[in-house]
Amino acid sequence: MRKFAHRVAERVIVISKMMENAYRKNKRILRLPPLVDINDEIWNQQVNKAEAFTFSFVGFPGGDKENLDKIVKAFIKMGEINTRLNIVGLTVDDFIAMYPEFSDTAFSELSIDFRGICTHKEAIKLNCPKLCGQYKKHPLWC
C-alpha cells in the first residue's frame, strides 16, 4: 500500500519521524505528532498500585514498525513484575505464525494475553475497563 501511496499521493500526513522517512519521496509531507489534552479526565485517573500495570498493543503488526516480538521478549524477561500485556488483534496462534521462535513459549503461564480480533469498543473495554461508563464525551467509548 505504501508503495502505491508514494506514486499517487501528492501530500501525506505522518505522525512520526520514521513515517516521514518512509514517505520522503513525496514532495509534501506534514509531520503531525499525536496530540492529547493532558487536562482531559481520561489522563487523570487514580492508580491502584496493588493492581498490575497493563500495557496494550491493539492492531495487527506489519512491516518493521511495531516489533511486537521484541515487546513480548521484554515482558518475558520481566518475569514476576506486577505488569500485564494485552495483545488485541492477534491470537496466540497468529503470533506464533509470525514469530515461530515463540512456539515453545507457555503464554498461559505469563502475564501476556492474546485477545484476537475484536471491535473498537471491545478493545477499549478490554484495555480500559475502569473507564467504561465513566467517560462518555466521545461516541466511540463504551
* Cell of residue 72, nine digits: 513480548
- Over residues 83-106, the pLDDT tens digits come to 888 899 999 999 999 999 999 988
Task: Kindly state whether residues 76 and 48 are assigned to the same domain.
Answer: yes
Task: Kindly state whether residues 115 and 82 are assigned to the same domain.
Answer: yes
- Single-letter amino acid code for the residue at 131: L
Question: What does pLDDT average to over the chain?
Answer: 78
pLDDT of residue 102: 93
Residue 59 Ramachandran class (φ > 0 left, ψ -120 to 50 alpha, else beta): left
**Cα separations (Å) of 102 from 17, 55, 63, 91, 135?**
30, 20, 19, 13, 37
Is 53 within a domain? yes
Considering its fold, how many domains does the chain have in total?
A: 2
Of residues 114 and 133, more confidently modeled? 114
Is 139 within a domain? no
The domain in which residue 19 lies consists of 2-31
pLDDT of residue 3: 55
Task: Kindly state whether residues 66 and 101 are assigned to the same domain.
Answer: yes
Task: Kindly state whether residues 10 and 63 are assigned to the same domain.
Answer: no
Task: Kindly state whether residues 18 and 48 are assigned to the same domain.
Answer: no
pLDDT at 62 over 80: no
Is 105 within a domain? yes
Task: Kindly state whether residues 9 and 49 are assigned to the same domain.
Answer: no
Task: Kindly state whether residues 67 and 123 are assigned to the same domain.
Answer: yes
Is 115 within a domain? yes
pLDDT of residue 101: 94
Secondary structure (DSSP) of the chain: -HHHHHHH-SEEEESSHHHHHHTTTSSEEEE------TTSGGG-----TTSPEEEEEES---TTSS-HHHHHHHHHHHTTSSEEEEEES--HHHHHHH-GGGTT--GGGTTEEEEES--HHHHHHHH-TTTTTT--SSTT--
Task: Kindly state whether residues 64 and 123 are assigned to the same domain.
Answer: yes
The owner of cell 502505491 is 4
Task: Kindly state whether residues 62 and 85 are assigned to the same domain.
Answer: yes
Is 141 within a domain? no
